[in-house]
Structure 1
Amino acid sequence: MKNWIGRLLGGSDKETPTPAGAVAAAVLDNEDMPAEIDSAFYRWLTASSGTNATSEVEEQILAEVRALSADPENASGLVPRIPELVAQLLGALSDENISTAALSAEVGRDLVLVAEVIREANSAYYRPVKPIETLEGAVTMLGLNGLRMLLARIAFRPLVKVKVQGVARQVAPNVWRHSERCAFAASVMAPGLSAGVFESYLAGLMQNVGLQVAFQVADRICAGKVPGSGAFGTDLFAASRQLSAVIALHWDFPPEVVEAIEESGQPDPSHLAEALAQGDRIAKLRLLLDAGVIEAEDSFVAVGLNGFQRRCLGKLADLAD
C-alpha cells in the first residue's frame, strides 16, 4: 500500500466550488454537544452488545488500544490491504488531464468496477434525467473527482468491513455506513474551510479503521461484549482515531491527512481536521436520525448544525448503502 496514496492527490479540490460564505468553522452553542453526540452514537452502535463493565475493564481496553498506537506494524496487520488493481486505478486518476475515453478504458479493465461506476451514476445522489447504461456515460456523469471518490470508497470497504467475529462483525455495517457519510460530508465542508476536497474525503474513510481494531480488542477482553457506557464510547472514539492516524502514517498517507485524523475534535485544529470533525458529526447525526434515535427538531441538529451543515445532513439521506 505504501506510496500509492500520494499519487491520488492531483488538486481535486479545484473541482468543487467554494459555497460563498456558506461554511465557517462550526461553533456549537453547547461546548459539550460533540461529546454528547459521540455518546449517543456509541450507545446506538453497540446497543446489542453493550454490557455493564467495571472502570478497570474499560481502562484495560483503552490502554491496549493506545498501546497499539505505539506499534504501527502490528496494528496495521489487523486490517486488510487495499486491492492492488484499485490502487493502480487511483494512481491513474491523479492525472487531471486524463480524457473520458482514457478513464473509461482504465475502469473497463474490471467488470465489477464497471458495474459499480454505472450504479453510482444512476444513484439518487446524481439523479440522471434518464438511466445511464454505458460506462462512458457514467464516467462523464461522475467526473474525475466523483470517480476518484468512488474508487477510494471501493478500496476502503475491506478495511472497515473486516472478516472477524463477535462485536466487530456486528457493528461493521454501521461503522462503514458512517465512514461513507463522514467522507462525503467532510468533502462538502472542505471548500468553505479552505481544505482539500479529496483529502477530506480520504480522511473520512480512514478515520474508522482504528475503531474496528478497537472493537476487536474490546470483544476479546469482554468475551463477546463491549462496555455500554456512552462516556467510555467517547474515550474509545478518541483512542481509535489516534490508532487510525498511526496506521495511516505507517501506510504513507499524506501528512495532512494523518494530521487531520489526529487533530479532529481537538482545540485549534487544521482546516482539514475541522472539515473532518464537521463531517464526522453530520454523519453520526444522519445515522441517528435514520434509526429514529433523534428527530430533526432535536437540539443536536437545530443547535449543533448551521444551515449549510443541515443541508448536507439532508443530502446524506440520498446516499445508498
Structure 2
Amino acid sequence: MKKWIGRLLGGDKETEVATGAGTAVAMDEEALAAEVDAAYYRYLTASSGRNIARELEEQVLAEVRALAGDPQGASVLVPRVPELVGQLLGALSDENISTAALSAEVGRDLVLVAEVIREANSAYYRPAKPIETLEGAVTMLGLNGLRMLLAKIAMRPLIRTKTQGVARQLAPTVWKHSERCAFAASVMAPGLSAGVFESYLAGLMQNVGLQVAFQVADRICEGKVPGSGTFGVELFAASRLLSSVIAAHWDFPVEVVDAIARMGDPDASHLAQALAQGDRIAKLRLLLDAEVIEEDDSFVTTGLNGFQRRCLGKLADLGD
C-alpha cells in the first residue's frame, strides 16, 4: 500500500492554517461536536453497548492509545489494499491521461468496470439516460470522480473487517459513515480552500482506527462494548489518532494524516476543518435515516448552516 496515495497526488502540497475563531465560538463548536459524537455513538452501539465498569473503559482507551505508538503493529490489524487498485490510482496521477486510456486501465478488471458503470448511473450523477458503456461512464465521472471511486473501492476492505464479534457487527454502519463523511468533506473543501480529493481520502481513512478499537473493546469487554456516550467521545478521539498513525505508516500525504489527527481543532488546517464538518454532517445523516432525530432537531437547525444542510440532504441520495 505504501506510496500509492503519494503517486496519485503527485507529491505533498502545503495547506494553509486557518486563523482561530473566538474562544467562545470554539468552545461552542467543541461542545456541539461532542454532543453529536455521543448521540451517534449511542446509536452505533445500541445493540451491543452495555454498562461497563469505568476501569474496563479506561483499559480499552489505554490499549487503543498504546497502538497509536506502534504503527507497524496497528497496521497489520486491517487488510491491505488490492494491488490492481493501487496501480490504477497510480495511473490517475497523470492529469493529462485520456478517457480512452483511463477506460483501458479500468477495463482490465470486470468487477471494476461494473462498479464504474454503476456509479455513473447513481442518483448522485443522475444521467439523462442510462450509461451502458465504460467510456461513457468514465466521461461522466471525470478524473476526480474516478479517483474518488477507486479510493472508495480501495478503502472498503479496510473497514469491512473479516474479524468476528462487535467489530464485524458494526462494520456496515461504520462504512456507511465513512462514505458519507468522505463525500461531505469533499463538498465542504472548496469553501475552505482545502483539496477536494484529499478531503475525500481523509473521510474514508478516519474510521480505520475505530474498527481496530472495536476489536480491542470486544476482547476486553468479552463480546460487548461500553455503551456510554461519554466513552464514545473519548473512543472516537483515540481511534482517530490511531487512524492518523496508520495513515502515516502507509505513506498517506502529510496533510491528510494531520487532518485526521487534528480534526475538531479550531486552529488546525482547512483540510481538518473540512473533515470535521463532513464528519458531523455524515453522523447527522445516519441519525436522521435511523429516525433517531428529526429534521427540525437543533443539531440540524442550529448546528449546521444553510450550505451544510443542503449537503446533508444530498447525502440521502448516496447508495450503500
TM-score range for the pair, normalised by the shorter chain length: over 0.9
Give the corresponding residue for 2:6. Answer: 6
- The answer to whether the Cα contact below 8 Å between 2:7 and 2:90 also exists between their aligned partners in 1 is yes
Residue in structure 1 matched with residue 111 of structure 2 by the alignment: 112
| C-alpha distance in 1 between matches for 2:213 and 2:136 | 42
Alignment pair present for 1:215 and 2:214: yes
List runs of 5+ in structure 2 lacking aligned partners. 14-20
The AA in structure 1 aligned to 2:260 is I
The equivalent residue for 2:51 is 52
**Secondary structure class of the residue paired with 1:267:** coil
User: Contact 1:208–1:241 at 8 Å: present in 2 too?
Assistant: yes
Aligned pairs (5 A) from 1:64-143: 64-143=63-142
- Aligned partner letter, 1:7: R
Change beyond 3 A, Cα 1:286–1:29:
farther
Tell me the C-alpha RMSD between the 2 structures: 1.7
Counterpart-to-counterpart distance in 2, 1:132 and 1:253: 33
| Amino acid aligned to 2:186 | S
Q: What is the CA–CA distance in structure 1 between the aligned matches of 2:75 and 2:10, rounded to whole Å?
A: 26
Q: Deviations over 1:239-289 (max 9, x none)?
A: 000000000010011000000001101231110000000000000000000
Identity of aligned residues (%): 82
Aligned length: 310
Which string of whole-angstrom CA distances, capped at 9 and with x for unpartnered residues, describes residues 76-132 of structure 1? 000000000000000101111111000100000000000000000000000011100
Quick check: 1:160–1:172 contact (8 Å CA) kept in 2? yes
Cα 1:249–1:200 shift into 2, 3 Å: same
Aligned to 2:281: 282
* Counterpart Cα distance in 1 of 2:142 and 2:226: 44
Which structure 1 segments of 5+ residues have no match?
A: 14-24
| Alignment partners' CA distance in 2, 1:29 and 1:244 | 25
TM-score scaled by length of structure 2:
0.94
Q: What does 1:192-231 correspond to in 2, within 5 Å?
A: 192-231=191-230
Q: 1:37 maps to which residue?
A: 36
CA distance in 2 between partners of 1:45 and 1:147 (Å): 30
Q: Which residue of the partner structure matches residue 295 of structure 2?
A: 296
- Partner SS state of residue 5, structure 1: helix
Secondary structure in structure 1 of the residue aligned to 2:317: coil
Partners of 2:255 and 2:271 within 8 A in 1: yes
Q: Partners of 1:176 and 1:97 in 2: how far apart?
A: 32
Say whether the 8 Å CA contact 1:28–1:305 is kept in structure 2. no
Structure 2 contact 26–266 (Cα < 8 Å) conserved: no
Separation (CA, whole Å) in 1 of partners of 2:248 and 2:129: 43
Q: CA deviation at 1:7?
A: 1.0
Per-residue deviation at 1:229?
A: 0.1
Alpha-carbon distance in structure 2 between the residues aligned to 1:250 and 1:91: 18
